[in-house]
Structure 1
């Protein structure tokens, strides 16, 4: 039996992935890999193309290792592109990329409950922000959204009192609807987990779908990055394996 360098690289990557998945699921030695791959993908909420790749690679592994040989060589031979793909997938699974590691650095723009709403409006006008985290000192107090601002403006116009830009942010926050909030997550959150959390919050009907990455996910931690649906293309691109 002779296996080429490409075949050896493919099998090495596959074996590393299989070992990791079996250890993660505490699987019995007799459990089939295909079923384990599906369970692992569901448990870790891997993207569908990762699950499909795992199953395709399993079939190729079987063809290389278990099928009939011709002239001492396996009837299946992975091309270089496939080898590179499974090696990238191995890195994705064994060392999942962190959201903070793939997103461009950006300062989180925050406002205080005592700030005049005019300050928040300046951020909206000048920088296009639609969600502004509100911090009372060092503690997270809520998120000011353009939806809440719009409802506050409508109330102002209804009262014919003019736009009182000196009103505090805390007053405008009262116009937020249920579900307008963000999720605090630790800096160790992976790309897959960030995508999943954004998707789950939207599916749950939350009007404000965003994450605030902090050191440990506590309300008293300094905000490190605001992650919104606008970041999904960059997050998704980080999971590409082709």
Structure 2
């Protein structure tokens, strides 16, 4: 329907003379009104995202983190030192660490319980970027922001003001994009 409305707009704007050449239907007018209302009063992003942020602390062991990842079926978990964000633990970091610590026999050189996440995050990948966003961001601002990201973004973490060291209020991953885009539909 949007393509038809665009065609109608072009005819109305670019038509010649003062003659009425088309009268929009009630359905077309209703659709246009819905579009204007949806854009004028966007849904707060906070109302659309997962508020259950699974995170861990930097002094926890790799074994603890893997159990947490398995329990929640996540491949990436934010890591904090108290309230200070220090990095993103990803399955790729774990694989890189294991590749560097495996014996020819297949045994791991070090116990997973003895490896802290702080140590593991020295293998942090520059491609695992995290963007912190404020609670008052709306869906349209989020879409604009996500289009500007040049690197492969791992996730967005929402805090009260967008400061990385505030309590996380929500999280957005690539898995959430289809649902968020669906919210933009009429």
Report if the CA contact (8 A) 1:153-1:163 is conserved: no
2:30 matched to 1:84? Answer: yes
Match 1:110 to one of 40, 52, 55: 55
- The structure with the largest helix share of the pair is 1
The equivalent of 2:19 in structure 1 is 68
Q: Distance in 2 between matches of 1:175 and 1:53?
A: 52
| CA shift digits 1:209-231 (9 cap, x unpaired) | 21001110012211011101100
| CA shift digits 1:80-117 (9 cap, x unpaired) | 332222122112321222222223x4310111110111
2:154 matched to 1:212? Answer: no
Q: Structure 1 residues 62, 126: closer, same or farther in 2, change over 3 A?
A: same
The equivalent of 1:181 in structure 2 is 129
The equivalent of 2:119 in structure 1 is 171
Q: Distance in 2 between matches of 1:114 and 1:175?
A: 16
Q: Report how many residues are paired.
A: 182
Q: Structure 1 residues 53, 88: closer, same or farther in 2, change over 3 A?
A: farther
Deviation at 1:60, TM superposition (A): 6.5
Match 2:93 to one of 144, 148, 153: 148
Q: Which structure would you say has the larger RCO, counting Cα contacts within 8 Å and 6 or more residues apart?
A: 2
Q: Distance in 2 between matches of 1:191 and 1:197?
A: 10
Q: Distance in 2 between matches of 1:61 and 1:135?
A: 57
Deviation at 1:125, TM superposition (A): 1.3
SS in 2 for 1:174: helix
Deviation at 1:67, TM superposition (A): 4.2
Which consecutive residues of structure 1, in runs of 5 or more, have no partner in the other structure?
1-48, 70-74
SS in 1 for 2:180: helix
- TM norm structure 1: 0.65
Report if the CA contact (8 A) 2:93-2:120 is conserved: yes
The equivalent of 2:42 in structure 1 is 96
Which consecutive residues of structure 2, in runs of 5 or more, have no partner in the other structure?
none
